[in-house]
Amino acid sequence: MNTTTQQIRLRRLACGAIAVLLAIIVIILCNVLPLPAEMARFLVDKSATEGCNLWAEQNFMWIACFLSLSEMLVRWHSASLHHHELKMHFLPETHDILLTKGTMTQIHRVVIDRGGSGFLAHLVRLLASQYQISSSVSMCTSVMETQVEAARNEIDLGYNLVRYFVWVIPTLGFIGTVRGILNALSTAAGMDMADPNMLPKVIESLSTAFWTTLLALLMSCLIMFLMHIVQGKEEKYVNDCAQYCLKNFINRLYEK
Protein backbone atom coordinates (compact mmCIF):
# COMPACT_ATOMS: atom_id res chain seq x y z
CA MET A 1 0.00 0.00 0.00
CA ASN A 2 1.55 3.33 -1.05
CA THR A 3 1.62 6.49 1.02
CA THR A 4 -1.25 8.15 -0.81
CA THR A 5 -3.53 5.15 -0.24
CA GLN A 6 -2.65 5.12 3.46
CA GLN A 7 -3.39 8.85 3.74
CA ILE A 8 -6.78 8.42 2.04
CA ARG A 9 -7.65 5.50 4.33
CA LEU A 10 -6.71 7.46 7.45
CA ARG A 11 -8.66 10.48 6.18
CA ARG A 12 -11.66 8.24 5.53
CA LEU A 13 -11.51 6.77 9.06
CA ALA A 14 -11.17 10.22 10.63
CA CYS A 15 -14.06 11.66 8.61
CA GLY A 16 -16.19 8.61 9.41
CA ALA A 17 -15.60 9.04 13.14
CA ILE A 18 -16.44 12.75 12.92
CA ALA A 19 -19.58 11.92 10.90
CA VAL A 20 -20.83 9.50 13.57
CA LEU A 21 -20.10 12.10 16.27
CA LEU A 22 -22.02 14.79 14.36
CA ALA A 23 -24.95 12.42 13.84
CA ILE A 24 -25.07 11.68 17.58
CA ILE A 25 -24.99 15.41 18.33
CA VAL A 26 -27.90 16.02 15.92
CA ILE A 27 -29.88 13.18 17.50
CA ILE A 28 -29.28 14.47 21.04
CA LEU A 29 -30.16 18.05 20.10
CA CYS A 30 -33.36 16.96 18.39
CA ASN A 31 -34.33 15.03 21.53
CA VAL A 32 -33.36 17.76 24.00
CA LEU A 33 -34.39 20.98 22.28
CA PRO A 34 -38.03 22.10 22.60
CA LEU A 35 -38.95 21.50 18.97
CA PRO A 36 -42.51 21.68 17.64
CA ALA A 37 -44.33 18.36 17.97
CA GLU A 38 -44.48 17.70 14.22
CA MET A 39 -40.81 18.55 13.76
CA ALA A 40 -39.76 16.29 16.65
CA ARG A 41 -41.71 13.35 15.22
CA PHE A 42 -40.28 14.06 11.77
CA LEU A 43 -36.62 14.19 12.88
CA VAL A 44 -36.32 11.65 15.69
CA ASP A 45 -39.78 10.09 16.16
CA LYS A 46 -40.24 11.84 19.52
CA SER A 47 -43.58 12.90 20.92
CA ALA A 48 -44.07 15.54 23.59
CA THR A 49 -45.08 12.97 26.20
CA GLU A 50 -41.94 10.81 26.09
CA GLY A 51 -38.25 11.31 26.77
CA CYS A 52 -35.33 10.64 24.45
CA ASN A 53 -36.16 8.07 21.80
CA LEU A 54 -32.73 6.51 21.30
CA TRP A 55 -33.94 3.51 19.30
CA ALA A 56 -35.96 5.32 16.66
CA GLU A 57 -35.31 4.41 13.03
CA GLN A 58 -34.48 8.05 12.33
CA ASN A 59 -31.41 7.83 14.59
CA PHE A 60 -29.85 5.11 12.44
CA MET A 61 -30.87 7.01 9.33
CA TRP A 62 -28.99 10.08 10.55
CA ILE A 63 -25.85 8.01 11.18
CA ALA A 64 -26.02 6.41 7.72
CA CYS A 65 -26.63 9.80 6.09
CA PHE A 66 -23.65 11.45 7.78
CA LEU A 67 -21.39 8.48 6.95
CA SER A 68 -22.42 8.77 3.29
CA LEU A 69 -21.66 12.49 3.30
CA SER A 70 -18.25 11.90 4.89
CA GLU A 71 -17.34 9.30 2.26
CA MET A 72 -18.24 11.66 -0.57
CA LEU A 73 -16.32 14.49 1.11
CA VAL A 74 -13.19 12.31 1.19
CA ARG A 75 -13.60 11.35 -2.46
CA TRP A 76 -14.22 14.95 -3.52
CA HIS A 77 -11.11 16.12 -1.65
CA SER A 78 -8.95 13.35 -3.15
CA ALA A 79 -10.20 14.09 -6.66
CA SER A 80 -9.46 17.80 -6.18
CA LEU A 81 -5.92 17.07 -4.99
CA HIS A 82 -5.18 14.67 -7.85
CA HIS A 83 -6.68 17.05 -10.40
CA HIS A 84 -3.83 19.48 -9.67
CA GLU A 85 -1.42 16.96 -11.25
CA LEU A 86 -2.68 18.10 -14.64
CA LYS A 87 -0.88 21.37 -13.92
CA MET A 88 2.43 19.72 -12.95
CA HIS A 89 3.46 19.36 -16.62
CA PHE A 90 4.84 15.82 -16.39
CA LEU A 91 5.12 15.70 -20.18
CA PRO A 92 6.51 18.21 -22.68
CA GLU A 93 3.63 20.23 -24.07
CA THR A 94 5.23 22.13 -26.94
CA HIS A 95 4.26 21.02 -30.44
CA ASP A 96 7.79 20.59 -31.81
CA ILE A 97 8.97 17.83 -29.43
CA LEU A 98 8.90 14.12 -30.29
CA LEU A 99 9.30 11.42 -27.65
CA THR A 100 11.77 8.58 -28.14
CA LYS A 101 13.01 5.74 -25.95
CA GLY A 102 15.79 8.00 -24.74
CA THR A 103 13.36 10.49 -23.22
CA MET A 104 11.44 7.90 -21.18
CA THR A 105 13.97 7.94 -18.34
CA GLN A 106 13.70 11.71 -18.15
CA ILE A 107 9.90 11.47 -17.96
CA HIS A 108 10.19 9.03 -15.04
CA ARG A 109 12.52 11.45 -13.27
CA VAL A 110 10.21 14.42 -13.83
CA VAL A 111 7.23 12.58 -12.35
CA ILE A 112 9.22 11.54 -9.28
CA ASP A 113 10.83 14.94 -8.75
CA ARG A 114 7.46 16.73 -8.91
CA GLY A 115 5.86 14.40 -6.40
CA GLY A 116 3.28 12.78 -8.63
CA SER A 117 1.21 10.20 -6.77
CA GLY A 118 -2.22 10.18 -8.42
CA PHE A 119 -3.67 8.43 -11.42
CA LEU A 120 -2.00 10.73 -13.94
CA ALA A 121 1.47 10.13 -12.49
CA HIS A 122 0.83 6.39 -12.46
CA LEU A 123 -0.42 6.44 -16.05
CA VAL A 124 2.49 8.50 -17.37
CA ARG A 125 5.10 6.28 -15.71
CA LEU A 126 3.34 3.13 -16.91
CA LEU A 127 3.23 4.39 -20.51
CA ALA A 128 6.89 5.42 -20.36
CA SER A 129 7.86 1.97 -19.08
CA GLN A 130 5.76 0.28 -21.75
CA TYR A 131 7.39 2.27 -24.53
CA GLN A 132 10.85 1.53 -23.17
CA ILE A 133 10.05 -2.18 -23.32
CA SER A 134 8.09 -2.48 -26.56
CA SER A 135 8.83 0.68 -28.60
CA SER A 136 5.26 0.26 -29.86
CA VAL A 137 2.74 3.07 -30.09
CA SER A 138 -0.13 0.60 -30.42
CA MET A 139 0.91 -1.19 -27.23
CA CYS A 140 1.03 2.11 -25.34
CA THR A 141 -2.42 3.01 -26.65
CA SER A 142 -3.77 -0.35 -25.54
CA VAL A 143 -2.23 0.03 -22.08
CA MET A 144 -3.71 3.50 -21.69
CA GLU A 145 -7.19 2.33 -22.68
CA THR A 146 -6.96 -0.58 -20.26
CA GLN A 147 -5.83 1.63 -17.39
CA VAL A 148 -8.55 4.22 -18.03
CA GLU A 149 -11.23 1.53 -18.11
CA ALA A 150 -9.86 0.00 -14.89
CA ALA A 151 -9.86 3.42 -13.21
CA ARG A 152 -13.50 4.00 -14.17
CA ASN A 153 -14.48 0.59 -12.80
CA GLU A 154 -12.59 1.30 -9.58
CA ILE A 155 -14.43 4.61 -9.20
CA ASP A 156 -17.76 2.89 -9.69
CA LEU A 157 -16.89 0.14 -7.17
CA GLY A 158 -15.82 2.78 -4.66
CA TYR A 159 -19.43 3.89 -4.29
CA ASN A 160 -20.74 0.49 -3.19
CA LEU A 161 -20.84 1.60 0.46
CA VAL A 162 -22.72 4.79 -0.42
CA ARG A 163 -25.18 2.81 -2.55
CA TYR A 164 -25.71 0.47 0.39
CA PHE A 165 -26.55 3.43 2.64
CA VAL A 166 -28.91 4.77 -0.04
CA TRP A 167 -30.68 1.41 0.13
CA VAL A 168 -30.58 1.15 3.94
CA ILE A 169 -32.04 4.60 4.66
CA PRO A 170 -35.37 4.08 2.80
CA THR A 171 -35.54 0.56 4.20
CA LEU A 172 -35.31 1.95 7.73
CA GLY A 173 -37.95 4.49 6.78
CA PHE A 174 -40.31 1.76 5.60
CA ILE A 175 -39.63 -0.24 8.76
CA GLY A 176 -40.60 2.83 10.80
CA THR A 177 -43.74 3.19 8.71
CA VAL A 178 -44.75 -0.43 9.28
CA ARG A 179 -44.04 -0.10 13.00
CA GLY A 180 -46.14 3.06 13.17
CA ILE A 181 -49.05 1.39 11.39
CA LEU A 182 -48.83 -1.58 13.76
CA ASN A 183 -48.82 0.78 16.74
CA ALA A 184 -51.86 2.57 15.34
CA LEU A 185 -53.72 -0.71 14.88
CA SER A 186 -52.73 -1.87 18.37
CA THR A 187 -53.94 1.42 19.82
CA ALA A 188 -57.25 1.14 17.98
CA ALA A 189 -57.69 -2.48 19.08
CA GLY A 190 -57.12 -1.63 22.73
CA MET A 191 -59.60 1.26 22.92
CA ASP A 192 -63.33 1.54 22.86
CA MET A 193 -64.71 2.55 19.49
CA ALA A 194 -66.88 5.15 21.22
CA ASP A 195 -63.88 6.74 22.94
CA PRO A 196 -63.37 10.24 21.43
CA ASN A 197 -59.60 10.01 22.06
CA MET A 198 -59.17 6.93 19.90
CA LEU A 199 -59.11 8.67 16.53
CA PRO A 200 -56.55 11.36 17.51
CA LYS A 201 -54.19 8.74 18.95
CA VAL A 202 -54.47 6.53 15.86
CA ILE A 203 -53.87 9.48 13.55
CA GLU A 204 -50.84 10.53 15.61
CA SER A 205 -49.29 7.07 15.24
CA LEU A 206 -49.98 7.04 11.51
CA SER A 207 -48.53 10.52 11.00
CA THR A 208 -45.33 9.50 12.81
CA ALA A 209 -45.07 6.46 10.55
CA PHE A 210 -45.25 8.50 7.37
CA TRP A 211 -42.89 11.19 8.71
CA THR A 212 -40.25 8.46 8.98
CA THR A 213 -40.63 7.52 5.33
CA LEU A 214 -40.57 11.15 4.24
CA LEU A 215 -37.29 11.83 6.06
CA ALA A 216 -35.76 8.67 4.56
CA LEU A 217 -36.72 9.66 1.01
CA LEU A 218 -35.37 13.19 1.45
CA MET A 219 -32.05 11.84 2.77
CA SER A 220 -31.77 9.38 -0.11
CA CYS A 221 -32.46 12.09 -2.69
CA LEU A 222 -29.77 14.32 -1.19
CA ILE A 223 -27.18 11.54 -1.07
CA MET A 224 -27.89 10.40 -4.64
CA PHE A 225 -27.64 13.98 -5.93
CA LEU A 226 -24.28 14.54 -4.23
CA MET A 227 -23.03 11.10 -5.29
CA HIS A 228 -23.64 11.89 -8.97
CA ILE A 229 -21.77 15.19 -8.60
CA VAL A 230 -18.73 13.65 -6.88
CA GLN A 231 -18.61 10.63 -9.18
CA GLY A 232 -18.83 12.93 -12.18
CA LYS A 233 -15.87 14.91 -10.88
CA GLU A 234 -13.80 11.74 -10.45
CA GLU A 235 -14.68 10.42 -13.90
CA LYS A 236 -13.91 13.79 -15.47
CA TYR A 237 -10.45 13.67 -13.87
CA VAL A 238 -9.81 10.24 -15.42
CA ASN A 239 -10.98 11.48 -18.82
CA ASP A 240 -8.78 14.58 -18.55
CA CYS A 241 -5.78 12.37 -17.72
CA ALA A 242 -6.49 10.20 -20.77
CA GLN A 243 -6.77 13.27 -23.02
CA TYR A 244 -3.56 14.71 -21.58
CA CYS A 245 -1.60 11.51 -22.22
CA LEU A 246 -3.10 11.07 -25.68
CA LYS A 247 -2.18 14.61 -26.68
CA ASN A 248 1.24 14.89 -25.05
CA PHE A 249 2.50 11.30 -25.05
CA ILE A 250 0.80 8.95 -27.52
CA ASN A 251 0.64 11.48 -30.37
CA ARG A 252 4.29 12.48 -29.85
CA LEU A 253 5.90 9.05 -29.86
CA TYR A 254 8.46 8.46 -32.54
CA GLU A 255 8.29 4.88 -33.77
CA LYS A 256 10.86 3.70 -36.28
Query: Which pLDDT score, from 0 to 100, does residue 212 have?
Result: 86
Query: Which pLDDT score, from 0 to 100, does residue 246 have?
Result: 92
Mean pLDDT by 10 residues, the chain (256 residues): 70 93 92 83 71 79 95 91 87 82 88 86 92 89 94 92 93 87 78 69 73 91 95 93 92 76
Give the DSSP letter string of the chain: --HHHHHHHHHHHHHHHHHHHHHHHHHHHHHHS---HHHHHHHH---TTS---TT-HHHHHHHHHHHHHHHHHHHHHHHHHHHGGGGS--S--STT--B-GGGHHHHHHHHHHTT--SHHHHHHHHHHHHHHHH--HHHHHHHHHHHHHHHHHHHHHTTHHHHHHHHHHHHHHHHHHHHHHHHHHHHHHTS-TT-TTHHHHHHHHHHHHHHHHHHHHHHHHHHHHHHHHHHHHHHHHHHHHHHHHHHHTGGGB---
Query: Which pLDDT score, from 0 to 100, does residue 85 have?
Result: 87
Q: How far is CA 217 from CA 58, 76, 145, 210, 223, in A?
A: 12, 24, 39, 11, 10
Determine contact, residues 85/112, Cβ cutoff 8 Å: no
Query: Which pLDDT score, from 0 to 100, does residue 3 have?
Result: 54
Q: What CA–CA distance (Å, rounded) separates 24 from 202?
A: 30
Q: Which domain holds residue 221?
A: 3-252
The domain total for the chain is 1
